[in-house]
Every structure is written in structure tokens, then in C-alpha cells.
Amino acid sequence: MKTIYKRILLKLSGESLMGSQGYGIDPQRVNDYAEQIKEIVEAGVQVAIVIGGGNIFRGLKGASQGFDRVKGDQMGMLATVINSLALASALEDMGQPAQVFTAINMFPIGEHYSKWRAIEAMKQGKVAIMSCGTGSPYFTTDTGSTLRGIEVEADVMLKGTRVDGIYTADPEKDPTATKFDRISYDEIYNRGLKVMDMTATVMARDNHLPIHVFNMDVKGNLRRVIAGENLGTVVY
């Protein structure tokens, strides 16, 4: 399989791990993701991954319900560790080595994150799964994934979601919404589109990290994106 990227940062939402359950972690969904990831590693792509924690706990929602915001965000960071361990376990069961890194020192659950150790792991053929977001409260995992993508010098950030790209409005709520094949960071900002939080979008723009939004829930889509097929939406 020909690939257009050598090294990618794959951002997965925590909610997507729920599958059809509506909560927690769906083993079938995790296995589906692991199979797709293993396939592109075998094609020679170096893969770093950041997973959200919204299927378990979302700090901002917790704060709205009375939790201290900092503690709520820390709970959300721990949720990303649980998801990262689940994906690492699924990958390893398939014979694909994976290594979990944590932005907060959490040995022996994961190795304390460093750019150079993550790159070294990827060069060894391991999937580097980077948890705890940035390690600081008030930053989302979107910002964490953009930061990690820039740090590990990824060619692109692939944002795997449950919709097939970026639309003029939420396609699940507005049937008249139309999809963009390509859109600039500035147009996302000017239109107020909820692709990622603004900190993540501006950071990607300022550091020239392209973002490719696609539907990860359709098996085979990750391989198709890596092969350069016209799929989803590219942010430039």
C-alpha cells in the first residue's frame, strides 16, 4: 500500500469508544480501531495517538455540575489513561507493539511522556499512545493532540470522528448542512465552526500542522486516508 504520510498524529474521541453502548468502552469498537491502526503501521506509517476521555468523564461538564474545574480536568486526564490502556491492550493482543505515555508521571501505568522517547518508540515500530492531554487543566485533548502532533513532527493530524468531515453546520441536527472538501483555519474561525477548540485550531495554524477530519467508524477509512483518497475534510 502506498502512503502519502510517513508519521501521523491520530486523534480519537473518547465518545467514539462507546460504540453502540452509549457509555464506557465497547471492546468491539476498540478492536476495530486497533485493526485499522495495525494495518497502516504494517504499511510503514509511524503512528502517535491521543484519545479523549469523554466516554468516562469530561472535566468541563463536571465543572458545570459543581466539581472544581482543576480537579474535574484531572479526572478527565485519568479517563484518557484508561482509554489509552484499552487501545494499547487491543493492539498488543493483535501482535502490534504499543507504548502508553502519560503527561503526568504515572509509572508503572505508563512512561512519562517525552518527545524523544515517543519518536524513538515509533521508529521501533510501536504505536505511541499519549495520554493525559497536555497534563494541565483548562486545555482540551484537542489542544493536547495538536501540541503532541507538532512536538513529534507529524506530517498531519488525523481527527477520527463519527462524521465524514467538516460541514457548514452540525449534519446530525441540520439536514441542509454541506460538507467542505478543504477549508482554511481562518475560515473555521470566522464561521465559528466547532471542529476543535480555538486554542487547538490557532496552534495548528501557527505551526503549519494540517488537519484531516474523517469518519473513523467506517472500517477501512484510515487506510484510505493514508493512501491519499479524497475522503473527509482537509484543514490547511
DSSP 113: P
Per-residue model confidence as pLDDT tens digits over 29-48: 999 999 999 999 999 999 99
Residue ranges in the chain assigned as alpha helix (H): 27-42, 59-64, 69-93, 115-123, 141-151, 185-191, 198-206, 221-226
| Distance from C-alpha of 99 to C-alpha of 92, rounded to nearest angstrom | 9
Which pLDDT score is estimated for 172? Answer: 81
Q: Over the stretch 56-103, which tens digit does the pLDDT of each residue have?
A: 987 677 777 888 999 999 999 999 999 999 999 999 999 999 999 999
Q: Minimal CA–CA distance to 161: which of 135, 185, 142, 175?
A: 142
- CA quadruple 136, 138, 141, 142: dihedral, nearest 10: -130
Domains and CATH numbers, the chain: 7-190+198-230 (3.40.1160.10)
Q: Per-residue pLDDT tens for 149-163?
A: 999 999 999 999 988
